[in-house]
Amino acid sequence: MSRRRVVVFDYGSGNVHSAVKAVEAAGADARLTDSRREAREADGLIVPGVGAYGAVIDQLRASGADEVIDRRLAGGRPVLGICVGMQVMFESGTEGSRSVEGLGEWPGVVDRLTAPVLPHMGWNTVDAPDGSRLFAGVSEERFYFVHSYAARSWSLDSSGPFAAPKVTWATHGDRFVAAVENGPLWATQFHPEKSGAPGVRLLSNWVDSFSDH
């Protein structure tokens, strides 16, 4: 079988070359590109995210990535959001006293964690649900987080024709959403590409799920 093609969308989110290398280590062909055509046609699309919620949203919309994400999800085609690339999938995010509109794929607000030390930076465990495909074989491992904001609640039980979402949690001061598996849209608050062998295994689990779509 030929290797799956994954696009890491380059919309100006900073250094994301580590994501390309991790996807290749996971057994797929990976390409960093700002081509909307390539992003639409790839077997899998990764939406990275580094920086502030509002800046990432602005860059996504300016590059047309929001439309690409919508079209892929409407066609049941896999998308993986990472860090702020996960956060923007929610309805909105807060920055200081202002609310920024997100992509609205999921209900909910991303806001600042209440914790003794921020940012939450370093390795942490997760609480993955039974039957998680994303965390198959790595549910007891630690993953690398760098963030001060997160979604602290989850209210979506099902989404159209898809099975009920599987939500993984972690705790740093507050309990927050660490990952979601929702039909073709999966996402992680942590950085699998910076999480060593467990992160590569997790990305491999994501690539293996393409056969479902």
> Secondary structure of 63-118 in the HEC alphabet?
HCHHHHHHHHHHCCCCEEEECHHHHCCEEEEEECCEEEECCCCEEEEEEECCCCCC
* Rounded distance between C-alpha atoms, residue 110 and residue 105, angstroms: 13
Summarize the confidence of residues 197-212 as an average pLDDT: 96
pLDDT for the residue 162: 67
Q: Which among 17, 67, 83, 105 is annotated as catalytic? A: 83
The pLDDT of 106-113, averaged and rounded, is 96
Joined together, the tokens standing for residue 196 give 């060593």
* 50, two tokens: 């580094």
DSSP string covering 45-57, please? EEE---S-HHHHH
Which residue in the list 120, 147, 172, 191 is annotated as catalytic? 191
The reply to whether 193 belongs to the active site is yes
Q: Which of 105, 141, 181, 193 is catalytic?
A: 193
Q: How confident is the model at residue 143 (pLDDT cuts 50, 70, 90)?
A: very high
Give CA–CA dist 111/145, Å, rounded: 16
pLDDT at 212: 78
Torsions phi, psi of 185, nearest 5? Answer: -100, 110
Strand bridging mode 166-172 / 174-182 = antiparallel
Q: Per residue in 150-182, pLDDT tens?
A: 999 999 876 566 678 999 999 999 999 999 999
Q: 3-state DSSP call for residue 37?
A: helix
pLDDT digits (tens, 9 = 90+) for 34-79: 999 999 999 999 999 888 999 999 999 999 999 999 999 999 999 9
CA of residue 184 relative to chain centroid, distance: 12
Q: What CATH class does 5-212 carry? A: alpha beta
Per the CB < 8 A criterion, the answer to whether 165 and 181 are in contact is yes
191 included as an active-site residue: yes
Task: Report pLDDT for 12.
Answer: 83
What residues contact residue 72 under an 8 Å CB cut-off, 6+ apart?
A: 39, 40, 45, 78, 79, 184
Active site residue 83: yes
124 neighbors 170 (Cβ within 8 angstroms): yes
Task: Give the mean pLDDT of 191-197.
Answer: 97
Question: Could you tell me the pTM of the whole model?
Answer: 0.95
End-to-end CA distance of the chain: 16
Name the band, by pLDDT with cuts 50, 70 and 90, for residue 96.
confident
For all residues of the chain together, what is the average pLDDT? 94
Task: Locate the domains of the chain by residue range.
Answer: 5-212
